[in-house]
């Protein structure tokens, strides 16, 4: 980490907003920072007033640390705010421009989306889904996925979207934990020209999910093309999405819910055990989404907005669905891979649909850099006016490449820091106000109190420490589904009443934040969170593995990759060393099967011992050094117990 800090300290390029951008920006007066600070509640209330409420709140905030309630007494509906309220003025405006990976394009107006959501909401009601019931969504990025989310919101049901790249076991665990009643899925989805057999994976998961009464299936391809095996529908349990829609009435009045009514749960990895369901509620969450979408992305009615995230992640919830749709934007969604059929697919999409706001992740930017600037150069991307980055620290080289090759040195870049738990962006430049520095997420959004704290909770003015949020904010998580103790322990126990982010960061002389990565046992692989423990349990689940330790190692494209050290069971050793390459493949595949491809280790190192501290903690820093080739030099095996012992001694002396 200290190398990283040193590198960042030498970064002194600065990019102030251009006068033309500033002139038209949604917000350009720096005084809004102090104004928001002087009356935080009033600031957020002003944003809440930009939503449509059926009943207005009587109190803005009730804060009993760590429990917050926002806009108490207010009643609203998220789908009403994303759809109905636009119908008068924007009924014929395109809400979604969808591209399937094979090349289909669909344009769906606000009126069409409203009709489908209303119908599907009625369909869900017919299946017995009531307000507060959980509905799992396991889908590719197709318009029906957005319909499914908003239909849940319309009737007060809680959606739990599970990324379509997760394995059947991962899906099963999430459905079981949330006790979802209905699962919405698709026959398949496209990825790099291949069909991902979602329905099959879902079948395997649902076999162990007694809470599921019904499975609704979207036919991804024309009926004639669907292969027999994906069409295996279970009578009484499975039904087609298009039939549900066809049979349903298109009038579905929204269910007015309390501001604090749960909108969704979304599972994310933590330091211990299985992924936890982060709970978000309605009024405060939507308030955070619209405030940040309008100011950070400078969203205007005429923009074509594209956030490349999948709806399986929080970015897809807040910045594909709720933020932009609540503001009546035209949103681009694309189902597939950035390099399909060629490495210029994203630039082709930007040109074809005249995208003006583009929001993606550093891992994607690093891949684009590797593929070369000839790809963006082959396309007219003059429609772009703002770029965003999210998910992990963006290295200054990637930032500069993005600025030059995608932004034509004209578009401001907003590097946005936030988390599944925070619901909305908390640290970011406001593009019409804040000069940017490559690699820095700059400043807290107005109305957000972010600090660097040391171990004991003392404020660090300039320098490194833990990133903490010291006052409540509207879109903050309200808890962990089914685990109130863990909520308190995980986020609010390091310093009582203060939110611990799990990230290390540094603040420079200008008060800018520089994010340095996780300080806990969470690895950020290509912008996705994976717990080291999850991968370790997947590995020891393999019949040959006795013990496993997982660390993050630096990776050119992913930022961080996964390296696993494994101890093979005595009885299995002979078999394992017979064909080490095959054994390594087998273990990697096992992790993919247990969790999903995003957790697949880059490297597996077989060892006969793991270095542990006297108190039994695995010495991860030592393992990282070994995996990255530092501690052992050329020798990359821990086959000799004496080597482990001597390394351990050396490291214990150092620390
Ligand atoms: C973790 C949260 C928030 C949407 C996507 C990820 C890292 C996120 C940045 C950024 C540096 C970042 C942090 C954070 N992170 N954005 N702009 N700069 N780091 O959501 O899966 O909940 O992961 O992602 O480490 O804690 P998530």
- For the stretch 55-102, pLDDT in tens is 999 999 999 999 999 999 999 999 999 999 999 999 999 999 999 999
> Ligand 1 pocket, 393 CB below 6 A?
yes
Q: What is the pLDDT of residues 500-542, one digit of tens each?
A: 999 999 999 999 999 999 999 999 999 999 999 999 999 999 9
State percent of the chain over pLDDT 70.
96
Kindly report the average pLDDT of the chain as a whole number.
94
How far apart CA 494 and CA 480 sit, in angstroms, is 17
> Ligand 1 pocket, 560 CB below 6 A?
no
Report the atom number in ligand 1 closest to the C-alpha of 518.
Answer: 25
Count of C-beta atoms within a 10 Å radius of residue 50: 14
Tell me what pLDDT residue 1 has: 46
Q: Is 409 left (phi over 0), alpha (psi -120 to 50) or beta?
A: left
* Residue owning the nearest CA to atom 2 of ligand 1: 419
Tell me what pLDDT residue 228 has: 61
Kindly calculate the radius of gyration of the chain based on its CA atoms and give it in whole angstroms.
24
Please tell me the pTM assigned to this model.
Answer: 0.95
Cβ-contact 77, 256 below 8 angstroms: yes
More confident of the two residues 224 and 15 = 15
Tell me what pLDDT residue 586 has: 97
Strand, helix or coil at 598? helix
pLDDT band for position 10 (cuts 50, 70, 90): low
> Ligand 1 pocket, 531 CB below 6 A?
no
Task: Name which of 507, 541, 535 is nearest 521 in CA terms.
Answer: 535
User: Best substitution site from 529, 534, 558 to test ligand 1's pocket, by max atoms within 8 Å of Cβ?
Assistant: 529
Q: Cα(468) to centroid of ligand 1, in Å?
A: 14
* Residue owning the nearest CA to atom 6 of ligand 1: 391
How far apart CA 345 and CA 168 sit, in angstroms, is 29
User: Best substitution site from 311, 318, 391, 480 to test ligand 1's pocket, by max atoms within 8 Å of Cβ?
Assistant: 391
Q: What is the pLDDT of residues 192-236, one digit of tens each?
A: 999 999 999 999 999 999 999 999 999 999 888 886 655 689 999
* Residue owning the nearest CA to atom 3 of ligand 1: 419
Query: pLDDT at residue 4 above 60?
Result: no
Tell me what pLDDT residue 222 has: 87
* Residue owning the nearest CA to atom 23 of ligand 1: 419
Q: If you search the block for the tokens 């972010």, which residue do you land on?
A: 450
Q: What is the pLDDT of residues 324-336, one digit of tens each?
A: 999 999 999 999 9
How far apart CA 379 and CA 347 sit, in angstroms, is 6
Q: What is the pLDDT of residues 378-402, one digit of tens each?
A: 999 999 999 999 999 999 999 999 9
């Amino acid at each position: 980490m200290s190398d990283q800090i040193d590198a960042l300290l030498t970064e002194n390029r600065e990019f102030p907003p251009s006068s033309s951008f500033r002139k038209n920006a949604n917000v350009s007066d720096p005084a809004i920072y102090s104004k928001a600070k002087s009356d935080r509640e009033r600031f957020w209330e002003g944003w809440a007033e930009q939503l449509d409420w059926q009943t207005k709140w009587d109190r803005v905030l009730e804060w009993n640390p760590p429990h917050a309630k926002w806009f108490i007494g207010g009643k609203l509906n998220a789908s009403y705010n994303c759809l109905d309220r636009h119908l008068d003025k924007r009924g014929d405006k395109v809400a979604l421009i969808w591209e399937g990976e094979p090349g289909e394009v669909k344009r769906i107006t606000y009126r069409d989306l409203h009709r489908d959501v209303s119908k599907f909401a009625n369909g869900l009601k017919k299946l017995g889904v009531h307000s507060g019931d959980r509905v799992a969504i396991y889908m590719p990025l197709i318009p029906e996925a957005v319909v499914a989310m908003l239909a849940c919101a319309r009737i007060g049901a809680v959606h739990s979207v599970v990324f379509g790249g997760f394995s059947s076991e991962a899906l099963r665990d999430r459905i079981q934990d949330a006790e979802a009643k209905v699962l919405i899925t698709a026959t398949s989805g496209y990825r790099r020209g291949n069909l991902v057999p979602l329905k099959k994976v879902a079948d395997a998961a649902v076999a162990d999910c007694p809470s599921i009464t019904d499975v609704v299936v979207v036919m991804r391809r024309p009926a004639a093309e669907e292969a027999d095996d994906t069409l295996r529908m279970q009578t009484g349990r499975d039904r087609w999405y298009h039939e549900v829609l066809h049979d349903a009435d298109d009038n579905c009045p929204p269910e007015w819910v309390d501001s604090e009514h749960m909108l969704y749960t979304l599972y994310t990895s933590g330091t211990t055990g299985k992924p936890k369901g982060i709970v978000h509620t309605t009024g405060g969450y939507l308030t955070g989404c619209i405030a940040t979408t309008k100011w950070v992305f400078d969203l205007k009615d005429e923009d074509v907005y594209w956030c490349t995230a999948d709806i399986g992640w929080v970015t897809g919830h807040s910045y594909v669905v709720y933020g932009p749709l609540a503001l009546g934007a035209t949103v681009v969604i694309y189902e597939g891979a950035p390099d399909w059929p060629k490495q210029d697919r994203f630039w082709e999409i930007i040109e074809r649909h005249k995208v003006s706001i583009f929001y993606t992740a550093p891992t994607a930017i690093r891949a684009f850099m590797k593929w070369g600037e000839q790809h963006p150069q082959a396309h007219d991307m003059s429609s772009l006016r703002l770029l965003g980055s999210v998910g992990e620290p963006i290295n200054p080289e990637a930032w500069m490449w993005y600025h030059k090759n995608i932004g034509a040195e004209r578009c401001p870049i907003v590097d946005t820091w936030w988390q599944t738990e925070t619901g909305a962006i908390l640290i970011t430049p406001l593009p019409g106000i804040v000069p940017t520095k490559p690699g820095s997420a700059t400043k807290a959004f107005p109305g957000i109190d972010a600090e660097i704290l040391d171990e004991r909770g003392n404020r660090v003015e300039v320098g490194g420490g833990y990133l903490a949020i010291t006052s409540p904010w509207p879109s903050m998580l309200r808890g962990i589904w089914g685990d109130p103790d863990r909520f308190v322990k995980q986020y609010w126990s390091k310093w009582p009443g203060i939110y611990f982010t799990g990230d290390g960061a540094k603040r420079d002389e200008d008060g800018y934040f520089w994010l340095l990565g996780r300080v806990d046992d969470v690895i950020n692989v290509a912008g996705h969170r994976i717990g080291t423990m999850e991968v370790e349990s997947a590995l020891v689940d393999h019949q040959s593995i006795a013990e496993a330790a997982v660390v993050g190692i630096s990776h050119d494209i992913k930022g961080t990759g996964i390296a696993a050290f494994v101890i093979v069971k005595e009885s299995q050793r002979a078999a394992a060393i017979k064909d080490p390459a095959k054994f390594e493949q087998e273990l990697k595949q096992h992790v993919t099967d247990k969790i999903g491809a995003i957790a697949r280790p880059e490297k597996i190192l077989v060892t006969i011992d793991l270095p542990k501290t006297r108190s039994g903690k695995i010495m991860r820093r030592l393992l990282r050094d070994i995996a990255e080739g530092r501690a052992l030099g050329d020798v990359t095996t821990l086959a000799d117990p004496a080597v482990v012992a001597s390394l351990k001694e050396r490291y214990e002396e150092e620390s």
